[in-house]
Structure 1
Amino acid sequence: MRLASVSKVYGDPANAVTALHDVSVQLDRGSFTAVMGPSGSGKSTFLHCAAGLDRPTSGAVTLGDTDLSGLGEKALTKIRRERVGFIFQSYNLLPSLTVEQNITLPLRLAGRPADHAWLSRVVADVGLSDRLAYRPSQLSGGQQQRVAIARALITRPDAIFADEPTGALDSRTGQQVLRLLREIVHAGGQTVLMVTHDPVVASFAQRVLFLADGRLAGALDEPSPETIAERMTHLGEW
């Protein structure tokens, strides 16, 4: 995945707000990248543009060999449904559906049958093989997030986008979920992009990108939480 000179401006010219300014970054296949920055730094806009949820004002976003910037809304919807997975802080599970039905929902929406061998593997990977008939209300927060991860994986996406995926979890459960995400990157070759405000969470990623005032403000590879926190304290001087 690649973002090339991506800018995003909101509002009319008289009241324009530049959320992203000329951001270029390459995210290799099978990589786990975290994005950090102060409030208002452009993290969410970065994630939304990269995932095809929002169109950049200028620049290009490429997923594999597909330039998302030139696609119409129908084609973008198809890309998001089939080649992209999403994990959110709030899980977004449907309470009336079982775990299995929640996981396979993207396939049903796309009119595709479930590959039962793949479903079994994904469910085993996230540790839910004995919970398929349960409803979300019968699960812990960590288990519900595992359902959301399995749902993101079921279409065999090229990339997974995670927005504060452990924000609603206690630290121990959150770390279990993050270790699971990292294992999935290694085993399945997905590209994972995660937005977080927590240095400990970010340290589970292989690389951390820093944004400040809508601009890329540096990167760290395999950093410790302490190194990330130190870099964050200096972003205010950017």
Structure 2
Amino acid sequence: MIFTNLIEANLKTNTIGKYIEYYTQLVSTNKEAWEIINEGTESGTLIITDNQISGKGRNSNEWKSKSGKSLTFSLIYKPETIPIEKIGIFSILTGISVLDGLKELNINGSLKWPNDIILNNKKVGGILCEAKIQKTNIEWVVIGIGINVNESKDDFDSGLVKKATSLFMELGQNIQRERVIASVLNNMELLLKRFENDPINFDISNDWNKYCTHNNKKVSFQKNNVIHSGIFKNITNDGSCIIEVNGKNMHYSGDSIYDLQILI
């Protein structure tokens, strides 16, 4: 069970996590978030469950979590006059917030564009951001986060155990999940405030470069079911990646390419 009072005790935010909706079981925290938005809610509301039955990741992939051991939660965010071109920045902001939060708990990880949280070269978490658009601006954003916290090796399917890990597996000790989520949310509010102050000119590259380990490395990726390769250079201010392909810097959004793999 997750104790919301322990989350609240560790929160240092003004709006994020002000309202917490906790469920022992949900089909999907993102799905529940959209239902709550349609019923009427406030920006900063947190949806969290101890048992997510059918979580999803990027490109409709399934996100598997272990009841009582994983963290699966979604944050409802209503931005102020943010153009739709900036939608890709939310996955980047969230990834940085997760790693900033884990770092405060003496856990050091890295990011793989656009939404993978990596620990010792294995995936420990993922992000799924969804948005509702009103004309040319973003009206609502649902930020879904899944983190493997206290899973053991036996909790992963045989196909996942070679590429997935948990905080427990890497550190050798159980981690209080409430502290993890509070630390992540504290850092997320700080980053979102910076973004809101000047969304058009907001530069995330320095924050990204703290955690990205594949800048200037050879990568492969798929676009229109064709595999391409190039050199991953950096990200743009809208969260797109810059990959040098055949000597030209190409910009790709998170929904235009998939299956990014680091080759070197």
- Place the TM-score, normalised by the shorter chain, in its bin: under 0.3
| Larger relative contact order (CA 8 Å, sep ≥ 6) | 1
Q: What TM-score comes out, normalization by structure 2 length?
A: 0.25
Name the TM-score, length of structure 1 as normaliser: 0.27
More helix by share: 1
Higher strand share: 2
